[in-house]
Structure 1
């Protein structure tokens, strides 16, 4: 179960995908509105005909009667979007539905290809393919046999490329190219706004850095499993770290 609850904050008004406040439902027919002043009798006693009774005593006592005689009290207003807090209410209220896992996977594959193809071209001067076709050597042996300095430089270029791409695109409008094609968007869990640069960077670092340094297969698999099983927000480790969710873009 996901327990991340991000800090409240006032979202910027220019974000077109923010949560929208919900209007409270109109009172049903025959149901009187709640008394003014937060349910307290006015100073000096209630006026004639007040639901607090003629004597100005306890509005719920035997002499004054209930202020809601003849009907039930009105329901509490629904979560308003911007300032409702998290006291048992769903922070996704007012936001688009969560993204389907299959579309998230496709979007990530598209982003990976978009970055991997230029990196494959950039890697030519670093001789990353110098011995890839030699007999008895696989690609892993080739990488490990490279000059240490060239290998380190190319690895740093790879890390910067993936992290910078994800950070800049997410901070701009919450969408990488893959997410835009799949009609998805990254949003802050607390208010639905576009993640700021700091949260976008944190999200990208947690997403890419372990995979590019030591856990090329295990880390993406772990993130995918969490997205599939996490309830109720479908958050991967990178989403939990940045307190974000991935939602569908309204049509």
Structure 2
């Protein structure tokens, strides 16, 4: 008997050597099993934007809505036709509101400093009849430098503490309904970012550059695209946005 014939009573279709290759299966019918989700892009895995605290399991980013782009991936705008860099973020703070908020904060710090200075004879102000060399000597005196240091500590400390500990909001920003947030994920800036931001803002303004530095800050906020960051925002990797309340 030939080995090519199936045993008696066995159907030719059951012969493993005569079976045709199986056709590839088509798409699964609706309701069938779905592949498990993972951490790949678009799979629904957790990310720092999934919850206000940056942990897994949340449904919305800390900005509210879709997640914004990370700071290190095209934070200053991508190529034409790319994703909207402002997607998922609340509206950026208007320039006028930022100025008003800053003026309020400056007054809040200045008034106590001024009252303290009165107790020690007040801050010396030059008059028109004085010699310029005399004015310069008085400004460069140890007492004046000490006062500058006290002012610097007051302004930097106020900005750092309020930004890091009170949801990114100084008193001025709370009144104007603004807040400072980390650009990459919307979190409240930590102490390190808040301190760096405050130092870049206040050290040049109070130590050497005065009005010139404020002009530089204003220009950078006005011309920066797309996030309207001043140099202090870039240093702290922060952005100023509108707040609900």
Category of TM-score, reference length = shorter chain: 0.5 to 0.7
The residue aligned with 2:158 is 165
The residue aligned with 2:144 is 151
Is residue 48 of structure 2 the alignment partner of residue 10 of structure 1?
A: yes
Q: Secondary structure at the match of 2:91?
A: coil
1:92-171 alignment, distance < 5 Å: 92-129=86-123, 132=125, 136-137=129-130, 144-145=137-138, 148-171=141-164
Distance of 2:142 and 2:197 partners within structure 1: 29
Distance of 2:179 and 2:64 partners within structure 1: 16
State whether residues 170 and 176 of structure 1, in contact with CA within 8 Å, keep that contact through their aligned partners in structure 2: yes
The residue aligned with 2:195 is 201
- Structure 2 unaligned spans of 5+: 1-46, 55-59
Is residue 61 of structure 2 the alignment partner of residue 86 of structure 1?
A: no
State whether residues 181 and 241 of structure 2, in contact with CA within 8 Å, keep that contact through their aligned partners in structure 1: yes
The residue aligned with 1:230 is 224
Deviation at 1:149, TM superposition (A): 2.7
The residue aligned with 1:52 is none
Distance of 2:129 and 2:108 partners within structure 1: 31
Larger radius of gyration between Structure 1 and Structure 2: 2
Q: Secondary structure at the match of 2:240?
A: strand
Distance of 2:115 and 2:163 partners within structure 1: 25
Distance of 2:141 and 2:62 partners within structure 1: 48
Instruction: Sort the Cα spacing of 1:242 and 1:109 in 2 relative to 1 into closer, same or farther, 3 A.
Output: same
What do residues 15-48 of structure 1 show as CA deviations (whole Å, max 9, x unaligned)?
99813454xxxxxxxxxxxxxxxxxxxxxxxxxx
Q: Secondary structure at the match of 1:187?
A: strand
State whether residues 91 and 190 of structure 1, in contact with CA within 8 Å, keep that contact through their aligned partners in structure 2: no
The residue aligned with 1:61 is none
Q: Secondary structure at the match of 2:228?
A: coil
Distance of 1:83 and 1:17 partners within structure 2: 12
State whether residues 170 and 200 of structure 1, in contact with CA within 8 Å, keep that contact through their aligned partners in structure 2: yes
State whether residues 228 and 234 of structure 1, in contact with CA within 8 Å, keep that contact through their aligned partners in structure 2: yes
TM-score norm. by structure 1 comes to: 0.64
Q: Secondary structure at the match of 2:221?
A: helix
| Larger RCO of the pair (alpha carbons < 8 Å, separation 6+) | 1
Distance of 2:71 and 2:234 partners within structure 1: 21
Deviation at 1:232, TM superposition (A): 0.6
State whether residues 71 and 184 of structure 2, in contact with CA within 8 Å, keep that contact through their aligned partners in structure 1: no
- Structure 1 unaligned spans of 5+: 1-8, 23-79
State whether residues 210 and 216 of structure 1, in contact with CA within 8 Å, keep that contact through their aligned partners in structure 2: yes
Q: Secondary structure at the match of 1:145?
A: helix
Name the count of aligned residue pairs: 185
